[in-house]
Amino acid sequence: MSEMAIKLENVSFSYPTNEGEEQKAVNGVSLGIEEGSFVALVGHNGSGKSTLAKLLNGLLTPTSGRVLVYGVDTADDKKIFDVRSSVGMVFQNPDNQMIATNVEDDIAFGPENLGVPREEIIRRVNWALEKVGMSEFRHATPFKMSGGQKQRLAIAGVLAIKPRVMVLDESTAMLDPKGRDEVMAVVRQLNREEKMTVVHITHYMDEALGADRLIVMNDGKVMLDGKPADVFKEYKLLTKIKLDVPCVTRLAVTLAEAGMDVDPTITDEEALVDSLCRLL
Amino acid sequence: MQIVVKDVNYVYSAHTPFERHALKGVNLTINEGDFLGIIGHTGSGKSTFIMHLNGLFKLQSGEIDVFDIKLVPDKKNKSDLRRLRGTVGMVFQYPEYQLFEDTVEKDVAFGPKNMGLDDEEVKKRVKRAIGLVGLDYDDVKDRAPFELSGGQKRRVAIAGIIAMQPKVLILDEPTAGLDPYGKEQILSLITRLKQECSPTVIVISHDVDEITRFANRIVVFNDGKVMFDLPMNELFRHADELHAVGLEVPKAVRIAQKLRERGIELGDVVSLNDLLHAIVTAYNKKHMDEPVKTDVSFSAFDFDADGGHVCTQSGEDKR
């Protein structure tokens, strides 16, 4: 069993409401994120997944329970910098994360704040830009870029802090298909080559397919947790909690339910084509 | 009635280092009753184009005629613009960011009020619009828009446009950022709005699979020009050309092509629903003794298709 990057112990979180009544956005969640794994986290709007993401790097601290990042409790104010430099976060809207008027400055912002020496900052900026494939844009201005480019830039900004875990909170939601592919390619590569632990929160079930592990949130709780192909076998349950399965699986499910001898748990397009060739 | 666009050009930041020619001689005719999809990758000019249709961008050159309201460069005519905005309703990307009033009712009333309608008419329209987008008027009217879930907020924002009863409804990436269920709700809502409110609908989307669900005609923008303007079933025969400009064909077209390569011909398939129907039909032809169900539909979620409740009860999926 490899080391745990992040551990959640019976974590609950409630947002304060006007009426004084508390509603738990996250309700008694316990789980461990293994070092080096690629975890996808899905749930419908309001299922608590974004709240969970913010708990992972101490942007929110649990109302009850503990979140440990490499053994450090995120509720410990004195150690919050350790937590934030271990867990980097990329948000949904890249425009909200750009702070400088040129790319280099923007990426240098994180390490500068951590007091990293100048020479090292330059090295990190170069490295981060190369990792996201944007070296040629180093002097460009972020505001004129495409969504995919901006989001890769945001990832580079997080990389420059050299975190061990990267949390992507619906970071592909605002992008066009091309931008989405660009960002996912970069994230997968970081996971493979840099052994970066990735927690990817998404609405796109097709993106979740590529993960090592898929966690499904519903009503503030973990409802399903396993290999994506296994989780998608629960397609009935997923539909009930307002989620879907990948497109190919949905086709297979529909045909199986109509009465055809198709495996409803197919996730691969070629496999679907194969079984159709057999039947038609 | 038609929208006729002739030789429209548009240049951003002219005479500066950031000058960009966003529209290069666009010609297009949109007919009343069209369900038009517009696709094109980021920066292709599609958003710039639709902003011209309700006068958000001043025409730099060319001419536009929207249901007999004529727009030409350098013409200042406030009453025309006012009429235009009442004729063409525009739902921007992430429209919920534009909600600003402290109650849903006031927010939806903003548009019709600005049109100078009397209070009674405004109230009537607000009530109808909120119902049309599938929310319960009595339940939501006094609530702050910010208390609602993401999908509900978006529907309130759409209600604000619908309340102006535009003849043409334009939606820019209407499902962006929503979860699968919220997406389905908005998609069935659009179909319903076309039937019951705005007979001409134009939708911009990155998602070709989504556009095949409803459009009868697709316009492809590339590099500021109209690259294709075709009925949907014809467009995707140009897969290679689309691919060259960074656009994918719908999944159903791709799967049908793979089957074709292996000797199974399903005919004209564009949407995932087409694909499913073609598959079960082909299956039943071969297995006449044991036919399967033919009323298949791709959607995971069931909504009342003819105007019943597009959404579920109030209070769903709030945080």
Residue window 90-149, chain A: list those with CB within 8 Å of chain B: 92, 144, 146-148
Residues B262 and B293 in one domain: yes
Band of pLDDT at residue B172, cut at 50, 70 and 90: very high
**B221, B241, B261 — which closes off a domain?**
B241
Q: Residue A20's pLDDT band (boundaries 50, 70, 90)? A: low
Q: What is the pLDDT of residues A90-113, one digit of tens each?
A: 988 888 888 888 899 999 999 998
Cβ within 8 Å of residue B180, ≥6 positions away: A44, A203, A205, A242, A243, A244, B300, B301
pLDDT of res. A142: 85
State the amino acid at position A149 in one-letter form: Q
In whole angstroms, what is the distance from residue B211 CA to residue B250 CA?
9
B234 in a domain, yes or no? yes
B182 and B55 belong to one structural domain: yes
d(CA B181, CA B164): 27
Q: What would the mean pLDDT of A231-245 be, rounded to a whole number?
A: 91
Cα–Cα distance for residue pair A249/B249, rounded to 1 Å: 19
What is the number of structural domains in chain A? Answer: 1
**Burial (Cβ within 10 Å: 0-12, 13-18, ≥19) of residue A172:** buried
Which of B283, B298, B317 is the mutation pick for testing A, counting most A CBs within 10 A? B283
Compute and round to an integer the Cα radius of gyration of chain A. Answer: 20
Cβ atoms < 10 Å from Cβ of A140: 15
Structural domain range at position A180: 4-245
Quick one: B173 and B26 in the same domain?
yes
Token pair 């009935």 in the structure block, residue:
A236
Asked if B109 and B122 count as a contact pair (C-beta separation under 8 A), the reply is: yes
- Residue B104 is given by DSSP the state H
The continuous run of DSSP H or E covering B168 comes out as strand B168-172
CA A64 – CA A25 distance, rounded (Å) = 12
Q: Per residue in A111-131, pLDDT tens?
A: 998 889 999 999 999 999 998
Same domain, B178 and B270: no
| Mutate: best of B42, B204, B286, partner A, most A CBs <10 A | B42
Share of chain B above pLDDT 70, in %: 94
Which of A194, A139, A117, A118 is CA-nearest to residue A162?
A194
Yes or no: say if A90 and A79 are a contact pair by the CB < 8 Å rule: no
Residue A262 lies in a domain: no
Please say whether the dihedral angle defined by the alpha carbons of residues B298, B301, B304 and B307, taken in this order, is positive or negative.
Answer: negative
The mean-pLDDT minimum among B26-30, B56-60, B244-248 falls in B244-248
What is the CATH classification number for the domain harbouring A142? 3.40.50.300
Please indicate, yes or no, if residue A39 is contained in any of the structural domains. yes
Closest by alpha carbon to B319, among A174, A57, A85, A48?
A: A48
| Tokens representing residue B84 in the block | 């235009």
* Reported confidence tier of residue B139, pLDDT bands at 50, 70, 90: very high
Q: Report CA-CA distances (Å) from B294 to A279, B144, B281, B285, B291.
A: 16, 45, 7, 12, 9
pLDDT in the model for residue A96: 82
CA A155 to chain CA mean position, Å = 12
* Structural domains of chain B, count: 2
Q: Is the pLDDT of residue B318 over 50?
A: no
Q: Quickly state the pLDDT bin for A278 (edges 50, 70, 90).
A: very high
For residue A100, the model assigns a pLDDT of 84
Chain A hits for B286, Cβ within 8 Å: 279-280
Residue A269 Ramachandran class (φ > 0 left, ψ -120 to 50 alpha, else beta): alpha
**The pLDDT value given to residue B304:** 46
Q: What is the mean pLDDT of chain A?
A: 91
Token look-up 């979140």 returns A67
Question: Any CB–CB contact under 8 A between A258 and chain B?
Answer: yes
When CB atoms are compared, the residue of A23, A277, A280 closest to B283 is A280
Q: Do B298 and A251 touch (CB under 8 A)?
A: yes
pLDDT value at A21 more than 60:
yes
The mean pLDDT of B16-45, rounded to a whole number, is 92
Predicted ipTM? 0.82
pLDDT at B310 over 80: no
Same-domain pairing of B132 and B268: no
Q: Are B269 and B199 part of one and the same domain?
A: no
Asked if residue B106 is part of any domain, the answer here is: yes
A148 within some domain: yes
Domain boundary, last residue among B175, B210, B241: B241
Query: Are residues B258 and B222 part of one domain?
Result: no
Residues B87 and B233 in one domain: yes
Compare CB distances from B298 to A46, A254, A269 and report the shortest one's residue: A254
In a domain, A265, yes or no: no
Please report whether residue B117 resides in a domain: yes
**Is B177 within a domain?**
yes
Q: Is B304 on the interface with A (CB under 8 A)?
A: no
Question: Domain containing B31: what range?
Answer: 2-241
pLDDT for the residue A107: 93
CATH, residue B194: 3.40.50.300
Please indicate, yes or no, if residue B229 is contained in any of the structural domains: yes
Q: Is residue B43 part of a domain?
A: yes
pLDDT tens per residue, range B250-309:
999 999 999 999 999 998 899 999 999 999 999 999 999 999 999 998 887 866 443 333
Domain contains B314: no
Q: Domain for residue A47, yes or no?
A: yes
The answer to whether the CB of B87 falls within 8 A of the CB of B166 is: yes
| CA gap A131, A260 in Å, rounded | 46
- Looking at the structure, do residues B262 and B184 belong to the same domain, yes or no? no
Residues B289 and B214 in one domain: no
Note every long-range contact of B276-282, with CB atoms under 8 Å and residues 24 or more positions apart, other chains counting: B276/A251, B276/A254, B276/A255, B279/A255, B279/A260, B279/A276, B279/A280, B280/A255, B280/A258, B280/A260, B282/A280
Cβ–Cβ under 8 Å, residues A200 and A41: yes
Query: How is A201-253 classified by DSSP, letter by letter?
Result: E-S-HHHHTTSSEEEEEETTEEEEEE-HHHHGGGHHHHHHTT----HHHHHHH
Domain co-membership, B204 together with B153: yes
Contact of B286 with chain A, judged by CB distance below 8 Å, is answered with yes
B261 and B222 belong to one structural domain? no
Q: What is the mean pLDDT of chain B?
A: 89
Mean pLDDT is lowest, of A93-97, A217-221, A242-246, B188-192, for A93-97
- How far does B89 lie from chain A, in Å, by closest CA? 23
Q: Write out pLDDT tens, residues B72-115.
A: 888 777 888 889 999 999 999 889 988 999 999 999 999 999 98
pLDDT tens for residues B212-250? 988 999 999 999 999 999 998 899 999 999 988 888 899
pTM for this structure? 0.86
Q: What residues contact residue B145 under an 8 Å CB cut-off, 6+ apart?
A: B96, B99, B101, B103, B104, B107, B153, B156
Element containing residue A13 per DSSP (H, E): strand A4-15
pLDDT above 70: residue A1: no
